[in-house]
Amino acid sequence: MKKFIMITIITALLSGCSVGMAMSGKALPDLGVVKQQASRGEVELQLGKPIATTTLDSGHIVNVYEYDIDNEPSAGRAFVHGALDVVTIGIWEVIGTPIEYFQGEKRQVQVEYDSQDMVVKMEVLSPDEGEKAVSKKKPA
């Protein structure tokens, strides 16, 4: 009986990384909000703070934002990870945590604002364009 209790305690202590990661993903932002004449506040409510900012000669500001796709919080994934943790006495974490770590894909969007902080132009960047845009611009 003591052995069973110890195994249960160890399993409870070891489990949780993949379960927690599955529950704490980020919801997909509503890119429909990012349209002409939307305010910077509305955009940043969906996308968060920019990862890069630059000011154009015209006075317009261009921000690059990063967001995740296919990494929404999932109770189903968390349940499966938890069940596999129990069945494998915690060994599943060796596999489950890297699976959750690499879950989803990062995307970037570039938004240009006028002098009143209203959206003038929005462009979803390809991964290569995103790398170039961020390397050229300094964070705000």
pLDDT tens readout for residues 81-138: 889 988 988 888 888 888 888 888 889 999 999 999 999 999 988 776 655 555 555 4
In angstroms and rounded to an integer, the radius of gyration of the C-alpha atoms of the chain is 21
Output the pTM of the full model: 0.66
pLDDT over threshold 90, residue 51:
yes
The whole-number pLDDT of residue 64 equals 95
Tokens of 88: 């494998």
Name the pLDDT band for 140 (thresholds 50, 70, 90): very low
Q: How far apart are the first and last CA of the chain?
A: 59
